[in-house]
Amino acid sequence: MSATDEQFQGFACPAKDAPLVPFKYTPRPLGPHDVEIDISHCGICGSDIHTIDSGWGPTMYPVIVGHEIVGTVVRAGAAVTDLALGDAVGVGAAVHACLDCDRCKAGLDNFCGVSPVFTYNDVYPDADGVKRPDTGARAYGGYASRVRVDSRWAFRLPAGLDRAVAAPLLCAGVTVFAPLKREVTSLVAQRGLPSPAQLRVGVVGIGGLGHLAVQFAAKLGCTVTAISHSPSKKAEAATLGAERFVNLGDEAEAAAAKGSLDLLLVTTFHGSMDRFLGLLDVRGAAVLLAVPEHQVDLNGFSLIGGGKSLSGSLIGSIEEVKATLEFAAAHDVKPMIEKFPMEKVNDAIAHVREGGPRYRVVLERTASTFA
């Protein structure tokens, strides 16, 4: 079979408001730095739902989503030296960057200023480095049989890390761990603290992102407060490592928590950013990780009144993805997952839309998925 005849199989969304359907596509040629991965698992991320719904802007249909990909290397380009056939690897939300611009050279390849490519709903640059949406090679995600990516964005799984458990770490995991590690390191240094134990870290939302953020913060040694509108999450948050719990639905609890935190990770956004910032002490820092489809409003006095800061964070760099996987494996940080056969992808998406998972859904390829 020639390269032009070869096809990968997947489940694509053909249009807005449509269910996913079987789909075949011809992959871009295997480049010298590329690996081809036989997919065994793929997590369902909130980004997948936003994309198939065109919630963040127009989607390039048909689209195969999925950027929490785990599988086995089955082919490798001539220039690949860090991976071998048979290696278990994962692929996250990015698959390409120029690696030559100032941002990339500074280790900020996830913010590449020249030719960044996300795992799906994107196109690769042509030989001249220009991305042409109408004619460029499309990037397709992990609800599929195989995927081809640059080997530098295919991460060998640490020994002993279960494949299904590893999948959500590739997006949800790094999305919370990267900014958490940066901010904790910075705040401990700025304040001259003897250890992270003196740092009061809050996590808004105990869901797909938040349940991992609580674990990571606790394993970093911080004093962790879980924050939710659901009092039913209190006992579970404690098992994840939270020492305190704030029910924002209880006005007395919410009032008592004002000014009690040094760092706040906002992993879900329901309500007021001003209210979240009110939980921070003077010189506290908040990081927005949730991306609602509506405008986020903010009163400037919520920041300047206490010398507070608000920033955002986008997935993670190559090195941050590696660090996330290594830290999770070393400290037994595990997402709570529910598995669905990949061929039941529409049922799995419906389950996510209904808010049913505790807390991530992972699609698992079976013998009948593409039979």
Q: What is the percentage of the chain residues whose pLDDT exceeds 90?
A: 93
The band of 293, judged by pLDDT with boundaries at 50, 70 and 90, is confident
The band of 1, judged by pLDDT with boundaries at 50, 70 and 90, is very low
| Mean per-residue pLDDT, 78-100 | 97
Q: Buried b / exposed e across 184-214, counting CB within 10 Å, b at 16+? A: beebbeeeeeeebeebbbbbbbbbbbbbbbb
CA neighbor of 212 nearest in space, from 176, 250, 185, 253: 176
Per the prediction, the chain carries an average pLDDT of 96
| Mean per-residue pLDDT, 183-187 | 97
State pTM to two decimals. 0.96
* Tens-digit pLDDT profile for residues 125-157: 998 889 999 999 999 999 999 999 999 999 999
| 142 vs 201: CA distance, rounded Å | 33
The band of 291, judged by pLDDT with boundaries at 50, 70 and 90, is confident
Residue 297 is predicted with a pLDDT of 87
pLDDT > 60? residue 178: yes
